[in-house]
Structure 1
């Protein structure tokens, strides 16, 4: 990590003062290769470079592994030198792999299946490639498959992927492989294919489906493929059994090889439409979105969609800053994914087919333990209409499950991670006045989701003990702290709706974090069900995802997790001075104890920017009158833990959460409590950011600098008036106007006074 940081500092230092290309569109600033492959011992982001549109179902990209797994969760690793093929779904930036559905691969010569060799996925048809002959932009990807001399191009609409393959002149043996056996590693999550089918409809058309279970349980993916040229011959295989020119095949390890005559026309295109519901819906999706064969027009449409979304925030800064910013903004809009078809059908959480009314849309892929912190607050700011669809989609799970999503994939909950963080997402959106949400229904969902026990959420234990005993519920300290915040959110919505008894009850539970504060160790520490502190206790020791009181972190990193009551946490710590000193130690101590969790990376002392529990901590100095230290650390993170390389993130991007931290912080503020409507001010990186808001208002943040050392705030003006508060509100932004910073190279007295600190509205 040290070597990487030195390299980044050098890169950033030479970029200061670079020419700003004002004529570029937002799409032209995006570099989809950022975060696609680690260097040295770093994490990278786990992103992918392929083609998708904002929040689309299809994410069409190369897979560089036979069986992508945790370290290549999106299917692509920039360090690899072979492409297995192009699959149509994937996750962006997650710590575990899934999806990786419906792989196509163009080839020449004999494939392993034709030669009747072992047809194991990826053996016999992969190709070498070079980054020198690879390029990507939002909605478009291109690579030369060196083993075959084929140029492959990809683009997409929301539910359809489009391929354009240019075979070498004179090739007399041109194929496209369809692999339904290719998936994420079958050794993870009990992954297996339950059934699949390939059906030849006519010389240009193939239908089929795959039913697979894994991290997301029992996923059904239906597809239609249309080729621009007729198929000459078909070879089908189910494992080692091979069949020629059969019209249909069923099985659990299916592949097909389609032969094409490219002697006179070297270009073969393919359109692949997906549906979670039926083949008939996949056919309708293709007709609705890509009825013709104009590949370049589909690329233009995808680029136009991205420019419209990315243009909601226009920024001024160095070339490097704009590249990182717009790529981060791009990464925030890859997931959640639309899961309803063009006709409004969707696969409900109870595996029945339902149809939406009006203009409703159904979404899934909710990485809520990550994205509730900054990604969803960002959506409420620049995508309020879509936020309403996200929330209504979450409430549909409540209708069938009885509680809101924890971590939802393809419409099903996988219960990964802890807490019930659909709750802050919903409460925040309602508090901000996002239209289109039934508040009473939403309240019913958040209330019952906080009362009905479900995996990692034993609320009978929560009510009985006022904390989670470690000998009953693993990850007990982290769950206690996160449940306390979720309960504060329920209480806040109860207060808004005039439900006083509920407000009192959940406000009381929101203080349960106190029950695990040990005044002797001065940390949150696990107890057993008898009320005894569990010893030995080492605040530097890491936990993972079970079997230890802390989740993907240690007691130091979780000490700061009381976002709904920082004032109380300051008092528990011993007051402003003690709190600031503990923060200082946190950011400077390099002590280690045993192995670190794999997700812990991007270190500044004990601070680990590569994982979400640390993300708000740099902003906490504002709460104790030392805002210049917030400015110092936020600036350091922005400039040293993000770059424009394949290892551009300090950890997994987690469906855009790491990117969302950058978006907010580069503009100058961050939602420490993501359900409060308050943004705490840090150190603006960009010279200017213009947020174009729904309804026509714009909010502009200006922070002109003479050099990159001007990281400290000297003074602030809001709409021309002196502004000394160390926070702004969501309503300040929605009203439009200008927030202007005067920056300098030394700390100032700005924001020191107690009355300028962030405040929370009392519940009772």
Structure 2
């Protein structure tokens, strides 16, 4: 009997283990994380909940605003109505754009397609409840309360598929809105529909386009839409004028109301293929990706794609940690977006149509954010796509003369500062990512570091050896960030044996010193005569112009010398003075006057809600007090991320906020993202496995992981005692095992030896 019981228990255990192994990683993804602030203390994330494929072109999602602006994703979890479902969105940005080809189902008499939808009783928006709303990778669903319609969404790379279930015995309609866009009355740039068209091809097909300006200066969006039921009649609107049963409408404010026989068949499907090139290519995209009407099959297909991408990392931790981690990975893999059509055509930055033979051309490069951690994450988890990203950026160099600053829809919008395609490309080249030509890469980064272009006056950089504020606003931030970019150029020059260039750019990489004011202890602005600008208040915030600091203050930008932290320590006066300044940074709570809107997630002056602060907690590692790095990293991980709609302490910024969590939860972070060096922090996961593109696995295990046990007691790397506060790229890529033992109290001896911090020369060798 005991034998049978033991066998039964064994079979039960095996069955349970097998069942546990089959839990899909997509089940941990919560697309509602980061979609709406709970209170005024968070920017939430600015994410959208609708379906998209990994790095795909179409992002089909509900819009809760008629003129989306804030949040930039178009969806606010705190809103109570939906205006429709548009096919393109930005994930986690601070600026809005896209929202192309909005569709909305309705019943009865549509109150006013052309009216003011913000007025009660007008427009076609509908109330909804989160109780009747759900989302997962590849799928979104909501009940539209005003019409009692259940709307379901899914997507392939270039095609959005919607399924509407109408209530019985009702007349069904679908509105197509080509005027829906970001607010056209914005003050800092203009959004305008230049031209648009809706054409009725036959009783099941609608095609059209719109050409518009916005954050991207010129976008062309072509669409091909097919319906599963015949269109009974149409009303095409130009402005407020409706035209019944006409076949074409052109203008700058056009919409269509399509009528269907939903009394006899309540289910209606519509699929919309997009192209940035032509209607013909939109047709081709649909033919290549979605010739049929299998909604549930597309949901599964897209979900499977996400499962494959998420499986590049496996973790063990609490359910909340898994939800935050895998949702973060999902957000990180939402962009950059492949702008190439199924045949490889894409619109280049010079607005000509070119063809990518491999059918890969990426855009949506939020580089000021993503160069810091998201792109280093891609080099580990997406090496093939990293090469595609780099080659896509270098195509802008070919057609435009220099690399992207912030590229959207293939168009350079010059948002933010610095030239941060440079560290991304240099990092990939130094790490030996296959598919990149190092010589061509160097040609591009060198040109982008010498040719004057908006925000980068290199002739003044060479002349003054800093950026004067009376020549270029945001001068301190630009000086610090360009110095870092120059260091990156120097490293690739060194690797390629270009000695004179290496020396030249290394000299420029130290120009930050020329704005250090030893009296105040901060980097300060000078004019072209070399005079300090006064008055000076290190707490005063700047935005995106009119101030020496970009989306921050002097406190937050003081720490931005990642290429030479030992020198930063030296100019302050040594490790004691440096750590005392760090201590003050994390405890000083004064916030005088107006704080920049991107500053949030405060710990003292540390603002995790924006990128300039992201590396600072790890700087204690360089100054002999790694236990303080562990304390603050754990504090950020545990307090400034959660699994609610307000899951991020700031804009998610195209994966950067998530990448910080992903790296830090495993226990390490790239302070200098192009160095191949990762500083150790405070892991919170019991186990993490990084499945590398070379077939090897780097595993991290953590004993005693908890919110209380934030301090490293000891570390082993591949079974050997490890006292260094850093890992190298080669440590990761050759595979192995990193073991942490954590505790409630600091181990003041660990990581404080002379060889515990990386030697400066290691920063020029990513291997």
* The two structures share one fold, judged by TM-score above 0.5: yes
> What is the aligned partner in structure 1 of residue 179 from structure 2?
181
Partner of 2:11: none
Mapped contact 1:406–1:422 kept (Cα < 8 A): yes
**Other structure's SS at 1:427 match:** helix
Matching residue of 1:198: 198
Q: Distance in 2 between matches of 1:247 and 1:630?
A: 65
Structure 1 residue 148: deviation in Å?
0.1
Using the TM superposition, give the Cα deviation of residue 677 of structure 1 relative to its aligned residue in structure 2, in angstroms. 0.5
Look up the match of 2:648: 649
* 2:9 matched residue in structure 1: none
Matched residues in 2 for 1:193 and 1:700: separation? 51
How far did residue 118 of structure 1 move?
Answer: 5.8
Once residues 73 and 206 of structure 1 are traced to their aligned partners in structure 2, the CA distance between those partners, rounded to angstroms, is: 28
Secondary structure of the residue aligned to 1:53 is coil
- The answer to whether 1:617 aligns with 2:616 is yes
Kept after mapping to 2: 8 A contact 1:198/1:207 = yes
Q: Given that residues 118 and 240 in structure 1 are in contact (C-alpha distance below 8 angstroms), is that contact kept between their aligned partners in structure 2?
A: no
* C-alpha contact 1:121 1:182 (8 A) present in aligned 2: no
Residue 310 of structure 2 corresponds to residue 310 of structure 1:
yes
Task: Look up the match of 1:714.
Answer: 713
Matched residues in 2 for 1:605 and 1:223: separation?
49
Q: Is the 8 A contact 2:684 2:706 kept in 1?
A: no
Q: Deviations over 1:443-480 (max 9, x none)?
A: 11100000001111111110110001111110000000
Cα distance, 1:592 vs structure 2:
2.1
Q: How far does residue 558 in structure 1 lie from its aligned partner after superposition? A: 0.3
Structure 2 Cα separation of the partners of residues 90 and 743 of structure 1: 41
Question: Are the counterparts in 2 of residues 194 and 211 from structure 1 also a CA contact under 8 Å?
Answer: yes
Q: CA deviation at 1:695?
A: 2.6
2:15 maps to which residue? none
Q: Deviations 1:519-574 (Å, cap 9, x if unpaired)? A: 11111011111101111110011000000000000000000000000000000110
State the secondary structure of the residue aligned to 1:478: helix
The change in CA–CA distance for 1:706 and 1:566 in structure 2 (over 3 A counts) is closer
2: CA distance between counterparts of 1:517 and 1:118? 54
Q: Which position in structure 2 is the counterpart of 1:411?
A: 410
Q: Distance in 2 between matches of 1:351 and 1:597?
A: 35
Is 1:325–2:319 an aligned residue pair?
Answer: no
Written as runs of structure 1 = structure 2, the 5 A alignment for 1:191-590 is 191-357=191-357, 359-590=358-589
Give the distance between the partners of 2:330 and 2:354, measured in 1 at CA: 31
- Provide, for residues 633-667 of structure 1, a one-character-per-residue CA deviation record: whole Å limited to 9, x for no partner: 00000000000111110000001110100000000
Q: Residues 258-301 of structure 1, C-alpha deviation per residue, up to 9 Å, x if partnerless?
A: 10001121000000000000011111100111111000000000
Distance (whole Å) between structure 1 residues aligned to residue 204 and residue 222 of structure 2: 17
CA distance in 1, matches of 2:371, 2:608: 16
Q: TM-score, normalised by structure 1?
A: 0.96
Structure 2: distance between partners of 1:23 and 1:605: 44
The TM-score with structure 2 as length reference comes to: 0.95
Secondary structure at the aligned position of 1:755 is classed as coil
Distance 1:299 1:535, change over 3 A: same
> Deviation per CA, 1:699-752, whole angstroms, max 9, x where unpaired?
100002164311111111111111111000111111011101111111002101
Gaps of 5+ in 2: 1-18
Contact 2:629 2:681 in 1 (8 A): yes
Q: How does 1:85-234 map to 2 (within 5 A)?
A: 85-113=84-112, 123-171=122-170, 173-188=171-186, 189-234=189-234
In 2, Cα distance between equivalents of 1:117 and 1:500: 66
Q: Does 1:51 align with 2:21?
A: no
**C-alpha RMSD of the superposition:** 1.4
1:113 & 1:44 partners in 2: Cα distance?
A: 33
Aligned partners of 2:327, 2:20: CA distance in 1, in Å? 16
Q: Secondary structure at the match of 2:760?
A: coil
Indicate conservation of the 8 Å contact 1:470/1:549, yes or no.
yes
Aligned residues of 1:121 and 1:181 also touching (Cα < 8 A): no
Runs of 4+ in 1 over 4 A off after TM superposition: 20-23, 116-123
SS of 1:426's partner is: helix
Does the Cα contact within 8 Å between 2:341 and 2:359 map onto a contact in 1? Answer: no
Q: Distance in 2 between matches of 1:625 and 1:569?
A: 14
Deviation of 1:121 after TM superposition, in Å, equals 11
**Separation in 1, partners of 2:706, 2:211:** 56
Output one character per residue of 1:579-620: Cα deviation in whole Å (capped at 9) or x when no partner: 000000000011222211100000000000000000000000
Partner of residue 39, structure 2: 40
The change in CA–CA distance for 1:706 and 1:392 in structure 2 (over 3 A counts) is: closer
Measure, in 2, the Cα distance between the counterparts of 1:180 and 1:160.
17
2:599 paired with 1:600: yes
Conserved? CA contact 1:676–1:760, under 8 Å: no
Tell me which residue corresponds to 1:12.
Answer: none
Partner of 2:13: none
Distance 1:240 1:319, change over 3 A: same
> 8 Å contact 2:315–2:322 — kept in the other structure?
yes
Shifted more, 750-759 versus 721-730: the winner is: 750-759
Instruction: Please state how far the C-alpha of 1:23 moved relative to its aligned partner.
Output: 4.4
3-state secondary structure, aligned to 2:544: coil
Contact 1:638 1:662 survives alignment (8 Å):
yes
Distance 2:30 2:240 in 1: 41
Between the aligned partners of 1:185 and 1:387, the Cα distance in structure 2 is: 34
Instruction: Give the direction of change, closer, same or farther, for the CA distance of 1:603–1:117 in structure 2 (3 Å limit).
Output: closer
- CA distance in structure 2 between the aligned counterparts of 1:760 and 1:26, rounded to whole angstroms: 40
Q: Could you tell me which residue of structure 2 aligns to residue 4 of structure 1?
A: none
Aligned with 1:72: secondary structure? coil
Query: What is the DSSP-based 3-state SS (H/G/I as helix, E as strand, rest coil) of the residue aligned with 1:703?
Result: strand
Superposition deviation, residue 164 in structure 1: 0.2
Deviations 1:321-357 (A, max 9, x none): 1011111111101111110000011111111111112
1:634 corresponds in structure 2 to 633
How far apart, CA to CA, are the structure 2 residues paired with 1:402 and 1:707?
51
SS at match of 1:93: coil
SS in 2 for 1:242: strand
> Partner of 1:725 in structure 2?
724
Asked whether the equivalents of residues 638 and 707 of structure 2 are also in contact (C-alpha less than 8 Å), the reply is no
In the alignment, the residues of structure 1 paired with residue 554 and residue 706 of structure 2 have an alpha-carbon distance, to the nearest angstrom, of 38
Tell me by how many angstroms 1:112 deviates. Answer: 3.5
Decide whether the 8 Å contact of 2:112 with 2:124 is kept in 1.
Answer: no
